[in-house]
Amino acid sequence: MKLEPVSGDPLPFSAKPYGRIAVVGAGSWGTALAATARQAGAEVRLWGRSREVVDEINARGTNARYLPDVPLPQGLRACRGLRAALSGAEAVMIVVPSRSVRSVAREVAEFIDPGVPVAVCAKGIEPESGLLMTQVAEQELPGHPMGVVSGPTFARETALGHPTAATVAFPFSYEDRLHPGESPAVRLSVTLSTGSFRAYISDDLVGVEIGGAVKNVIAIACGMMTGAGFAENTRAALITRGVDEMKVLAEALGGRRETVTGLSGVGDLALTCASTTSRNMSLGAQLGQGVPRADCFDGAPIVVEGEFNAKSVTDLARRVGVSMPICETVRAILHDGTELGPAFAALWARPIESEPRALGLSFDHPASDQAIATLAERIS
């Protein structure tokens, strides 16, 4: 059945997908994105450092280390050499942990063709510089249109074809607005769109990236309070006020508050705070149960992006004069040695503020002493 456009909807236009793309990073999300693009019909080259992972993808069509029991589409080719992966690529996605984006982008610069669009699919803020991931990559890859792919996406569910939506964000030039079907954002969206994967478009890189970085920290906070024995009221409060922290930081950096209410903000936050499938939520839950950090995940060296982001996000917020009390609380616990109980008790005992910031009210919590005493005892 053909659906007619609803009155008031934007008029549709045609867009040509990229024929060949390179995905740099063969972890769970990189493999899932490569599989999605291949299912959509693109020729895909997936780069990974591990010989075992690359050989398994090519020989068996699986990546048991990162996506166990998930069959990958036929024709997906993995490479250990960046030259082979990037040769002839019309678009590139960098899908590595945030702390590796700079070094990997520097390697990509040696082999990428001039002017090829690059989408960074990592969520975070560089600790030393306070730069967003696209800004980091842009320093190493000048002259390339730079964008981001972000949203509420568990890699396994995406690779299995569960209905999934994400945001593709690139700046829109004057020419892009005149001919949107030729813009990098629209063309990459079409390249990734399948019967189960929908890629929405944005031109607000700052808003999209701030949502992706901050949501990991808020998810750790939700996990901590869940692990400490609290339930839905507490998590809902943290999620809602966490969205406000996202909005304020995004706006301070030139992003739009509206973006934070979309897939890359509220959507990603809701997913990450909903289940211990999220490493961030899981880490927080274990800490809330009293498990020492060294013993979390049974002592395995699991990378948890929000653990690093807690410091880099709050460093950036302090630099631009933005208050982010939930993120500051997580930082205090993870990096400053503050005990979980007193930290969250102090958060709940803060002055009460107006929810519309424009109202501009703030006054002492009338039961702050009780909040501190009661919560600190219950959490400990």
* Integer Cα distance of 214 and 238 in angstroms: 12
Are the beta carbons of 53 and 66 closer than 8 angstroms? Answer: yes
Short-list 240, 238, 206, CA closest to 225: 238
How far is residue 193 from each of residues 37, 62, 152, measured CA to CA in Å?
Answer: 8, 22, 15
**CB proximity list for 62: less than 8 A, separation 6 or greater:** 56, 68, 69, 70, 71, 72
Q: Catalytic site residues?
A: 215
Beta-carbon neighbour count of residue 181 at 10 Å?
13
Are the beta carbons of 47 and 110 closer than 8 angstroms? Answer: no
* Integer Cα distance of 16 and 189 in angstroms: 10
> What residues does 94 pair with on adjacent strands?
24, 120
